[in-house]
Structure 1
Amino acid sequence: MTTDDPATDRTGREDFPDWLRQLERDIRPGLAVRLRIWCRRRSRRLVGGVGVLLVLALLAGAAAYRSGHLRRPGPAAHPAAGPGATASPTAVPGPFAGTPAAGWPAGPAGIVLPPAHRAGDFTTAQVAAGLAQVRATLLTARLDRPFMAGRSPDPLLRHFAPAARASVRKDWTTETIAAYATRLAPDARLAPDPPRVSGRITYQATRATNGVRELAVTTNFVWVYGFRDPGARSGYSVVLLHDTVVWHLPHQDDVAVASRGLWLHQMSSYGWGLDCGAIHQGLVRPGGLDPAAAPFPEDPESLYDPDHPIALPTHC
């Protein structure tokens, strides 16, 4: 077979032309020049070869894409624990496990405000502001850990009308405070889990005997607290507080500046799992049942129901 390429001899070996050999002896072209000449001679073959490689690459990529979608792997299965494997640690049940409060909302999520609507002479905006004020008071009184563990009523007093604060301060060291706020005993230790909360809020426009227009907001909540308890099998114990509180917000046009804001109108509550000696001082601490006391006539789990009557057959 013959070829028209002058740089190819009969043996098929490609070589440089004679004039380049002559120049090479005189100027010895560098590697870059040699490579450019070599590529020019083989441009057709290179283009064809690269085209083939590109086609093959595209076909391989399409095949891999189809394979990946048709055989998408499922979630990796956890290997069974063998002699040399370490099993995953089992989650330790929290303080509310096995109680009706286990599935309740945690902390603030349990305090849901009803939609605000006009009530009597209170506009929708005034109703919304009053509901928000009551909720903020509940967050401090029942859920704020620094306040509950503190020794000052000031964080709570700030939520009340200036003229109402003296009455709240008097309740601070009595069992009355437990009807609307939680004070922890110095040795009580809450679990890390937020308290569980269940209940509701309602409101209506009323008028006091002196003619003052008032927005009455009624809160009815069950609060369940988890405490660290080294003596218990689970390491925890729970305390339940159920309160019903009626809060009054007088119309700002009917009272003096010092009386504008939140007032306590009526409150009642019961507790379960409490230390009775501590609660008489307004302090909350977990405590066991008195073995000398008469058996409780109800199923204790019924006390978790916000619709349970506040009056109990027995109390501390």
Structure 2
Amino acid sequence: MTTDDPATDRTDREDFPDWLRQLERDIRPGPAVRLRIWCRRRSRRLMGAVGVLLVLALVAGAAAYGSGHLRRPGPAAHPAAGPAATASPTAAPGPFAGTPAAGWPAGAAGIVLPAAHRTGDFSTAQVSAGLAQVRAALLTARLDRAFMAGRSPDPLLRHFAPAARASVRKEYATETIATYATRLAPDARLAPDPPRVSGRITYQATRDNDGARKLAVTTNFVWVYGFRDPGARSGYSVVLLHDTVVWHLPYPDDVAAASRGLWLHRTSSYGWGLDCGTIHQGLVRPGGLDPAAAPFPEDPEALYDPDHPIAVPTHC
């Protein structure tokens, strides 16, 4: 495209050599010729400008390359070696460490009720209510610390039928109580860890000699208690009690109002790690074997099995 701007025409003319002006009268150069002449006159300045552009391009490329490396994550640096980390102190082993009861459920978690079903003339609801009554009695008799350390049978008595409470009260101060409930000797100190429990519950419908219908619930549990024992290397000792108890719940229509509720029908148990002097009073505390007694005829760890027969040679 051409322009009629006089200023542009004047500048172009001044850049032409004298001989070209002389020839201009006869030959008027075209645009290509004018461009070559113009470039030749400014070659040094053009070379300098290109050099500057190349330098700028290199600088910009280097900056971009460096910037890319700054943004790109490098390999993870290894932390400088410093003082060795101090290991956290290992928790002291509990009282059940090294015994078969170490992995057993703690406390109430070990008393799992079977599913309730209609049994004989007992409806599903009656069976479910009866099982719950038995479980509540077990929780008090074997796991309630206030009851076990206390000196009153009342917390346990409330689980029984009114007519059954007198016999339980009478047994409270005798050796028989230990077959279905735990009473601690005054100087016995339980460890903070809950007792460990393993066993099962079964039930069936039955009748007594008078023909009264009964729901018989059989509980078979091993209870393992941890005690503080300053004389032991670990600071603890354990006592094991294994009991089998048959509980009766009469059919409500077959008995008087005072007899409705929980009854003890049969109890049996054995223990291990007990103090022989206090267990005869119905009190539990840890104690060692009588050195004068005959060696126990089997591996004591077998006594932790709920399927172990209740009848065992006594070590007291």
Pair 1:277–1:81, CA change in 2 (3 A):
farther
Q: Which residue of 1 aligns with 2:16?
A: none
Q: CA-atom RMSD, angstroms?
A: 2.2
Contact 1:273-1:286 within 8 A present in 2 as well: yes
1: CA distance, partners of 2:83 / 2:180: 51
Count of matched residue positions in the alignment of Structure 1 and Structure 2: 244
TM superposition shift of 1:169: 0.4
Contact 1:81-1:87 within 8 A present in 2 as well: no
1: CA distance, partners of 2:202 / 2:227: 30
Query: Which amino acid in 2 is paired with 1:138?
Result: L
1: CA distance, partners of 2:187 / 2:205: 43
2: CA distance, partners of 1:87 / 1:196: 30
2: CA distance, partners of 1:222 / 1:275: 18
Query: Which amino acid in 2 is paired with 1:306?
Result: P
Q: Deviations over 1:230-253 (max 9, x none)?
A: 000000000000000000000001
Q: Deviations over 1:119-175 (max 9, x none)?
A: 000000000000000000000000000000000000000000000000000101111
Q: Deviations over 1:21-59 (max 9, x none)?
A: xxxxxxxxxxxxxxxxxxxxxxxxxxxxxxxxxxxxxxx
Partner SS state of residue 254, structure 2: coil
Q: Which residue of 2 aligns with 1:93?
A: 93
Which ranges of structure 2 fall in alignment gaps of 5 or more residues? 1-70
- The sequence identity of aligned pairs, in percent, is 86
1: CA distance, partners of 2:116 / 2:88: 49
Q: Which residue of 1 aligns with 2:292?
A: 292
2: CA distance, partners of 1:313 / 1:230: 29
Task: Within 5 Å, give how 1:209-228 maps onto structure 2.
Answer: 209-228=209-228
Contact 1:243-1:269 within 8 A present in 2 as well: yes
TM superposition shift of 1:81: 7.0
Q: Which residue of 2 aligns with 1:277?
A: 277
Q: Which residue of 1 aligns with 2:125?
A: 125
TM superposition shift of 1:313: 2.0
Task: Please identify, of 96-105 and 86-95, the stretch whose mean Cα deviation from structure 2 is larger.
Answer: 86-95
Q: Deviations over 1:38-92 (max 9, x none)?
A: xxxxxxxxxxxxxxxxxxxxxxxxxx9x98xxx9x9xxx9x9973xx53210110
1: CA distance, partners of 2:231 / 2:315: 24
Query: Which amino acid in 1 is paired with 2:111?
Result: I
Contact 1:117-1:127 within 8 A present in 2 as well: yes
Q: Which residue of 2 aligns with 1:256?
A: 256
TM superposition shift of 1:315: 3.8
Is 1:158 paired with 2:131?
no
Contact 2:296-2:315 within 8 A present in 1 as well: no
Q: Which residue of 2 aligns with 1:303?
A: 303
In the superposition, the TM-score normalised over structure 1's length comes to 0.74
In the superposition, the TM-score normalised over structure 2's length comes to 0.74
2: CA distance, partners of 1:93 / 1:81: 29
Partner SS state of residue 101, structure 1: coil
Contact 1:182-1:284 within 8 A present in 2 as well: yes
Q: Which residue of 2 aligns with 1:194?
A: 194
